[in-house]
Structure 1
Amino acid sequence: MHKTKTLQRLALATALMTTLWGGSAHAVDISFFRFFGDCKTEFGDVADMAKANGECGIITALTNKFNAENTIGAKVVTQTVDWGAYYDLLTATYSTGNIPDVAVMHASVMPNFSDRDLLTPLTKPLADISVKTDDFVPAALKNASAKDEVYALPYDLHALLFHVNMDLMKKAGLVNADGSLILPKSPEELLEQGKKFKETTGKYYIGSESQSSEGMMVRVFDTLTWQQGVDVLAADGKTASISTPEGLNAAKLISSIYSEGLANSALDYPGSEQAFLNGETGILINGTWGVDNYDTQAKSGKVALKDYRVANVPQIYAKPAVWADSHMWVIPKDDGRTAEKTEAALAFLKFLNDNNFQWSRTGHLSVRQSVLNSEEFKALPHRAEFADTTKNATALPQIQNQRAVYNAMTTDLNAMWLTGTDPQTAVDAMQAGVERILRRNR
């Protein structure tokens, strides 16, 4: 009799779990809000991670793999949003009621949401699903935290890099006898090497997005200012140091890159990447996220880029530093979300964390120490070439409206090569625009 009752109780428990999680009749759909592009044509049916590359391909394949393999009846439904409109549309979902269950978020933007109680606290939920936060490198855990609470699952550290066409650098005589790359160690050397490159190859020394709100050169401006020992924004987020001698030095150097014809001011983001792949640029200034894609393209034999190399952004002032940020996953707060959806969202986060190595294949640096220490990670292409980036990565302080600060700086900095604004006027305008935003924050 006792054995029979035990079996009945087990059957009842099994039936309950089946009702909640199993079978198509009770499948749980969770909405996934992200950027990274739309690559359904190429990767829409790919769940084999070995067949995926690039940010879009890898996150698409990871999502497909979770949908195919999870045992709780969960299905992730992806909504892909254009990068430029992403945060405006995410904010709008809180008004429309279509709040996503999981969303990507930059560490630099998180205060806009965590400070307004718009994110689900994750300290206990992550512990409950056995995500070990002590495996995250300290900077990543700090990025994901506010007021002694974890609000995000950190997923990477991404920073600016120099992506290099070694064939063009050899032609320009900017390679040592041992095959190592010659990079500038001062502002003067950068301009001298750029002129030498242009004269010998007839190509642009530097490629960068120069036209849109992507603001790649703002990241360069921040890097150059930090390398002179000056914080662009104070740690408390109350003051800015942009219209300073150091800020003017940075602006003058960037302006000279364009005025000397060392960079093509007509390129938007896709155009800058295509120019690099087409062999029209010696050095592409872009982030870690491009490494896997450019390496794959170079090895394919289908583009002009053949000998691809990666380098840390060089130290040309007194202090090593380079702009950096982090991608993270959050569960936007939604009082109407069911327990089943919450459990499925957390299961997806655990799956993403378990597969952090796959994301690091993009070129992004893993935030998990166990992944960084693994032979698998160390064997990835080019990692030794930009290993110091982890030591030099520098981020703006986590303050509200950092994205607005970034956009304001982009408009006024871009004016130097788009409308002929002189560097002093540009840094003065950036300073004034950022100060207005900081006053609103206060």
Structure 2
Amino acid sequence: MKIKALVTASAIAAALGAMSPAWAQQTVTWWDFFSGGDGVRMKALIEEFNAEHPDIQIKGTTLEWGVPFYSKVRTSAAVGQGPDVMTYHLSRMPLGLSEGVLSPITEEDLQTAGLNEEDFFATALDAARDSEGQLHAVPFDIHSLVLYYNKSYLEGSRFLDDEGKLTGIESVADFEEAMQLAAENGSETPVTYATGDDGGTYRVFYTLLAQQGGTLISEDGEVLPGDSTDKAVKAVEIMTKWHEEGWQPEQALYEASVALFTSGKSAFQLNGVWEVPTMKDLEEGGKLGFEWGAVEVPKLMDSQTTWADSHAFAIPHQEGTEMPPEKREAVMTVIGWMEKHAIAWAEAGHIPAYKPVAESEEFATMQPNATYATLADRATYDPRSEVAGVASPAYDAAENIISPAIHGYMSPEEAVEQVKSELQSRMN
């Protein structure tokens, strides 16, 4: 009897299923490289999307950041086993294009997502295009170098206004005066950044180069063309002086460089916006013994600009496999939803690349993000080159050549010539 009842129940269920309207749920395979606070926020966004979209479900996987991620993308796309959508650094766009792993993002795709090109900051959108202007990714944020400051070392000086906000830094000389003041007021390391690793060294060097109007790699592949060589030497000289004066840490790795600021030993920190949650968490937990702020990197040289990159969404080209229209529609629906909910992502310190969120009242009250959001229109992205961008030979050169130079192991001129030789050889 029990067996017969089970058979009958199964038959009824099958019949009901056959009578139900067709409902083809789309599963979107998602790869990202987010860990820490970024990872927590992205997982929360994915869970929220899945809860709101029973017909589209994101199946997310987090892979190791950097070279491992991009290698995995390349090999998986070559055999048609890549994800449906992935996060991608726009600074690695030239590499992705050369490898043929990025699918074009069409105007129809954007319409499906409920987006328009005009919705995005031009700096980020331009970095997402190929040489012919075709989009190959949708920018999600703008993350950049910013200047964090500890107000306690600047109290009563010209570098804090009546509201306790940083002011009066309009040149390298001004910044060095502020660091000297901080040293006299007890700061052990007036400015901290990761002087012993690739990212920290590269971003400070590149910002100083860009503020002089210098070019690291030209469009035709020349490293430090024209007077950019002299400007690069000037950038290394400045960083070297900060070492000689004892203003910056000795061969600091990333975690140590952050700890110098959070522990109150540094008056300034040159680091990415992604450390904003660290500061807020310490402050809210009562573990921060000082008042702090963060601003766009001041105009230290000839113009105000700073190194920046973007996380973006891309659809990998799958060798031998064409994505069905219904799957692509689902993928673009995911991308559009993420862009419109980017305020949650901004909590990680990022500036939304999607203007309706970046210009919203909610973002305007988000501090310190809204204070440094001005950089979005004048940020300088990495050169459009296969040897530049995150986890690239340009970053390696910063760690292996520029970092030793600013610690006195070679002259700025020697370092720059080595950088030129190393990067040029990678393109020949």
- TM bin (shorter chain): 0.7 to 0.9
Distance in 2 of aligned mates of 1:374 and 1:282:
32
- Cα-Cα RMSD: 2.7
Deviation of 1:319 after TM superposition, in Å, equals: 1.8
- Matched residue SS, 1:358: helix
Q: Which residue in the other structure is 1:372 paired with? A: 358
Distance in 1 of aligned mates of 2:86 and 2:284:
33
* Distance 1:295-1:236 versus aligned 2 partners, 3 A rule: farther
Deviations 1:243-283 (A, max 9, x none): 72221111011011122221112422222223222212211
Deviation of 1:61 after TM superposition, in Å, equals: 0.9
User: Normalized against structure 1, the TM-score is what?
Assistant: 0.82
Distance in 1 of aligned mates of 2:174 and 2:118:
43
Q: Which residue in the other structure is 1:323 paired with? A: 307
Structure 2 regions of 5+ residues with no counterpart? Answer: 1-16
Deviation of 1:183 after TM superposition, in Å, equals: 5.0
Q: What is the aligned counterpart of 2:317 among 311, 333, 345?
A: 333
Q: Which residue in the other structure is 2:99 paired with? A: 116
1:167 is the counterpart of 2:152 = yes
Distance in 2 of aligned mates of 1:115 and 1:433:
20
- Matched residue SS, 1:104: strand
Task: Select between 329-338 and 216-225 the one with higher mean Cα deviation.
Answer: 329-338
Distance in 2 of aligned mates of 1:222 and 1:33:
29
What amino acid maps onto 2:178 in structure 1? Answer: Q
Contact 1:164 1:308 (8 Å CA) reproduced: yes
Q: What is the aligned counterpart of 1:436 among 413, 425, 428?
A: 425
Q: Which residue in the other structure is 1:276 paired with? A: 261
User: Normalized against structure 2, the TM-score is what?
Assistant: 0.85
Q: Which residue in the other structure is 2:33 paired with? A: 35
Q: What is the aligned counterpart of 1:152 among 137, 152, 169?
A: 137
* Distance 1:113-1:361 versus aligned 2 partners, 3 A rule: same
Distance in 2 of aligned mates of 1:66 and 1:88:
28
Where does 1:67-106 land on structure 2 (aligned, <5 Å)?
67-83=50-66, 85-95=68-78, 98-106=81-89
Deviations 1:148-185 (A, max 9, x none): 42211111122210011212333888434552324543
Structure 1 regions of 5+ residues with no counterpart? Answer: 1-10, 22-27, 40-53
Deviation of 1:143 after TM superposition, in Å, equals: 2.0
Distance in 1 of aligned mates of 2:145 and 2:208:
12
Q: Which residue in the other structure is 1:345 paired with? A: 331
Q: What is the aligned counterpart of 2:125 among 129, 141, 158?
A: 141
Contact 2:237 2:406 (8 Å CA) reproduced: no
- Matched residue SS, 2:268: strand
Distance in 2 of aligned mates of 1:14 and 1:282:
66
1:226 is the counterpart of 2:210 = yes
Contact 1:243 1:430 (8 Å CA) reproduced: no
Deviations 1:285-314 (A, max 9, x none): 11222224322322321233x412012211
Q: Percent identity?
A: 24
- Matched residue SS, 2:41: helix
Q: Which residue in the other structure is 1:63 paired with? A: 46
- Matched residue SS, 1:348: helix
1:265 is the counterpart of 2:254 = no
Deviation of 1:428 after TM superposition, in Å, equals: 1.2
* Distance 1:29-1:168 versus aligned 2 partners, 3 A rule: farther
Contact 2:224 2:420 (8 Å CA) reproduced: yes
What amino acid maps onto 1:125 in structure 2? Answer: D
Q: What is the aligned counterpart of 1:412 among 401, 409, 415?
A: 401
What amino acid maps onto 1:145 in structure 2? Answer: R
Distance in 2 of aligned mates of 1:408 and 1:175:
37
* Distance 1:372-1:77 versus aligned 2 partners, 3 A rule: closer
Deviation of 1:109 after TM superposition, in Å, equals: 0.6
Contact 2:153 2:187 (8 Å CA) reproduced: no
Q: Which residue in the other structure is 2:12 paired with? A: none
What amino acid maps onto 2:302 in structure 1? Answer: A
* Distance 1:391-1:338 versus aligned 2 partners, 3 A rule: closer
Deviations 1:195-243 (A, max 9, x none): 3312321421111112233x22222112212222322222444342487
- Matched residue SS, 1:194: helix
- Matched residue SS, 1:180: coil
- Matched residue SS, 1:279: coil
Where does 1:170-189 land on structure 2 (aligned, <5 Å)?
170=155, 174-189=159-174
